[in-house]
Amino acid sequence: MRSKFPSYLAFLTIALWASLHSRCVGAEDISAPPAGQADGLKSTKDITVLLISNGNIFLESLKKAIECKQFDVLTPADYEKHKPGRYDIVIFDGYTPKFIPAGGRFIHFYCLPPDSKIKSVKEGDRPALIADNTLKDWKRDHPIFDKVTFRRLYAKTTMKLDVPVEGVESLMEGTSGPLILLENEKQSKHLIVAFDIMNSDWPLKISFPLFMHQSIVYLAGH
Q: Which structural domain, as residue segments, surrounds residue 211? A: 7-221
Tell me if 152 is assigned to some domain: yes
Tell me the average pLDDT of the chain: 85
CB atoms within 10 A of CB 161: 20
Looking at residue 37, what is its pLDDT? 44
Which own/partner contact pairs does 58-64 have at CB distance under 8 Å and 24+ positions apart?
A: 58/10, 58/13, 58/14, 58/197, 58/198, 58/203, 58/208, 59/91, 59/93, 59/109, 59/197, 61/10, 61/14, 61/17, 62/209, 62/212, 64/14, 64/18
Does residue 27 register a pLDDT over 60?
no
Does residue 28 register a pLDDT over 70?
no
Tell me if 125 is assigned to some domain: yes
Tell me if 1 is assigned to some domain: no
Tell me if 99 is assigned to some domain: yes
Please give the Cα distance from 129 to 176 (Å, whole number): 10
Tell me if 63 is assigned to some domain: yes
Tell me if 139 is assigned to some domain: yes
Tell me if 2 is assigned to some domain: no
pLDDT digits (tens, 9 = 90+) for 29-38: 443 333 344 4
Q: Confidence band (pLDDT; 50, 70, 90) for 1?
A: very low
- Total tally of structural domains belonging to the chain: 1
Looking at residue 24, what is its pLDDT? 40
Domain containing residue 195: CATH number:
3.40.50
Please give the Cα distance from 44 to 185 (Å, whole number): 24
pLDDT digits (tens, 9 = 90+) for 46-70: 999 999 999 999 999 998 888 899 9
Positive or negative: CA dihedral 135, 136, 139, 140: positive
Does residue 220 register a pLDDT over 50?
yes
Does residue 153 register a pLDDT over 80?
yes
Tell me if 72 is assigned to some domain: yes
